[in-house]
Structure 1
């Protein structure tokens, strides 16, 4: 019996709907979610690194076109949904590190060892790199050390976190102080300032210049996903929502970060563990997303012609069948059934395959890059994209 239990492996979800519990207990009142809902373990969670960026500044991505029938319908990325599902659930199939007692991440944050391979100590980064935006942009080895995760990133010299190290980190005041300083450093790089110890954020004085850079340098969206995940692992889960809300506001309401729209909705929101918090953010996004028919992240349609079929972002719960009068009105006012966005497949790059190549072609091409990164990462392999996109 012991052998059977020891060999049991968690069955991974196979569809976007299975990965997303955001709307499974939909409540307009946004009641606090139960402690065990989408949280994995009490205390901390963990992660992987993948991310899709949106199109080039000035371009209109496919979901922003005016007509629901004018372009192929995009689907949510299964690879993104699965990655963030694992993160929120503390990686059910996670295997302990081969060297669980080294605490390399904690020792780095205590200024006892430098990051590898550059040989730089944390205090040098915190005191000398702030405001050196060229260095922060072009150096690709520090981010895995500043924001450690429980899964290997693209700097293979960086060490994965362990549960034991996470607990030790969270109980070490000096490490936590430096971690918040590192978070503030990166926020400044992105044109944002940390306002208080609750994680509230706002535009920094240099926000126009930095937001323009953030629109153009989209590999930073990968970094932001890592930062959000690391916040959750090291005890700062509450810091995520203010930052994600700011990015939603800037990308959707103010159009200052238009290239970030898809990444915020596909990745940043889903690093947040509490479904009620995700629902609040997605309801805000739905109000400001244009065009409305392009919004793929729920809530699921409750009453729609055709017997209550579920759409993108659906929890898989079938809506009540409409009355004849509701069905007649729905047929007169809603788009044709063929224009609906239906997400039930785990093939996240179907749209990308029909869109053409090139890393600068917009969200569809980045979806292919993200998918390749995720598939290679799940096999433990290096791949041809490792030298192109750094996390």
Structure 2
């Protein structure tokens, strides 16, 4: 028996469906309040109701039958599956367990390679948006994970370090201050100790920047993951809900839609909370037939209709068609179309090629330009900050 257990190896999921447990126990009914740790309500405001009614029969340029049959990003689904399940294939980090992340947060060591201490970042960088935008080494230190990022000087978290961090008041205080610092950079303010958030006074300027600076979506994914690792799982849902409202309802962050739905939502570990967020997204997503992230058709009954109905792609799910601009850019670059997250996270891209990235997901942005690491930093092109994670 000992030999059998010792030789057991985790088998990675091989499909999006195997990675996604969101709808596994769903009955399309409201879950009991005790299941939900998000503080999110499914109630709809009068304005939202009026908008939904007005969009009940959207005027589409093409029918569901004519849209390309595509799938969700397996690369994203697998990445978030590993995170939510605490890295089941986890191996010990390559560095000795020196609690370097905790020591950084205790202001005992600076981040590497810049030599900056946490207190300097928290006291002098707030409001310095150029520095927060263009420096690409601090984010891995402010929001550590159990996975290696592209700043190879940063250390992965370990289970023991996580426990020690969560029991250290000074580290937790600074971690929340770092979270508030980044929220301000994005035009958002932290309202309370429960993680509720709202637009900040500078939201218009910052949202415009965030809509155009897509490497920040990688940073947000890291921030959400780190919140969960360090004891602030409940802070995720309010932030993801705000991003959904801004991107789908208010249309202030339209470029963020697919990063929210492919990545941000799936950092949340509680399936009931993910379902609530996805139901809200499905209500406001346009065109309705292109919504990829609802329950599989088999769980909705034969011939299920309504705004959330999905088409029968190769995985039973239909993706949105490329816009004319996306199609043009895809043709000019040899037809390679992928999500911004897929493109930015694929480590093989550091060599300037796309090998090893087969199966990357849906149609959001074409990656052009090459990446090269120089002394632990990235050479910048139009995707400045691609190596943020």
TM more than 0.5: yes
Correspondent of 1:110 among 106, 110, 116: 106
5+ residue gaps, structure 2, are 37-58, 318-322, 357-369
Residue 364 (structure 2) pairs with residue 390 (structure 1): no
Q: In 2 relative to 1, CA 375–21 (structure 1 residues): closer, same or farther, beyond 3 Å?
A: farther
SS for the counterpart of 1:356 is helix
Q: Which residue is equivalent to 2:21? A: 21
Counting matched residue pairs gives 331
1:171 to 158, 167, 173: 167
1:177-326 paired onto structure 2 within 5 Å: 177-301=173-297, 310=298, 320=301
Aligned to 2:80: 84
Match of 2:330 in 1: 356
Distance 1:86 1:117 in 2: 29
Q: Give the whole-Å Cα distance in 2 for the aligned partners of 1:293 and 1:365.
A: 19
**TM superposition shift of 1:364:** 3.2
Q: Is the 8 A contact 2:349 2:371 kept in 1?
A: no
Deviation at 1:31, TM superposition (A): 3.3
Cα-to-partner distance string for 1:81-114 (whole Å, 9 max, x where unaligned): 0000000000101012244530000000000000
Task: Please state whether the residue corresponding to 1:390 is helix, strand or coil.
Answer: helix
| Mapped partners of 2:81, 2:60: distance in 1 | 30
1:343 matches 2:315 = yes
Which residue of the partner structure matches residue 133 of structure 1? 129
Relative contact order higher in (CA < 8 Å, ≥ 6 apart): 1
**Distance change >3 Å, CA 271–CA 367, structure 1 → 2:** closer
Partner residue in 1 for 2:347? 373
TM-score w.r.t. structure 1 length? 0.76
Q: Deviations over 1:182-223 (max 9, x none)?
A: 000000000000000000000000000000000110000000
Cα 1:232/1:79, change in 2 over 3 Å: same
- Separation in structure 2 between the aligned mates of residue 177 and residue 144 of structure 1, nearest angstrom: 18
> Which position in structure 2 is the counterpart of 1:31?
32
1:66 to partner: Cα distance? 3.7
What does residue 304 of structure 1 align with? none
> Structure 1 residues 98, 298: CA separation in 2 closer, same or farther (over 3 Å shift)?
same
Offset at residue 8 of structure 1 (A): 1.4
| Partner of residue 119, structure 1 | 115
Query: Which deviates the most, 71-80 or 111-120?
Result: 71-80
1:63-102 matched pairs, under 5 angstroms: 66-67=61-62, 68-102=64-98
Q: Which residue number corresponds to residue 3 of structure 1?
A: 3
Report the secondary structure of 2:239's partner residue: helix
Question: How far apart in 2 are the matches of 1:182 and 1:367?
Answer: 23
TM-score computed with the length of structure 2 as normaliser: 0.76
Contact 1:109 1:122 in 2 (8 A): yes
Aligned equivalents of 2:12, 2:327: Cα separation in 1: 25
Q: 1:90 to 1:176 in 2, by over 3 A?
A: same
In 2: Cα distance, 1:231 partner to 1:30 partner: 24
Partner of 1:193, secondary structure, is strand
Say if 2:296 and 2:316, in contact at 8 Å, map to a contact too. Answer: no
1:356 deviates by 1.9
Q: Distance in 2 between matches of 1:33 and 1:299?
A: 22
Aligned 8 A contact 1:358 1:365 in 2: no
1:165-190 per-position Cα deviation (integer Å, ceiling 9, x unaligned)? 00000000000000000000000000
2:101–2:157 Cα contact (<8 Å) kept: yes
| Secondary structure of 2:4 counterpart | helix
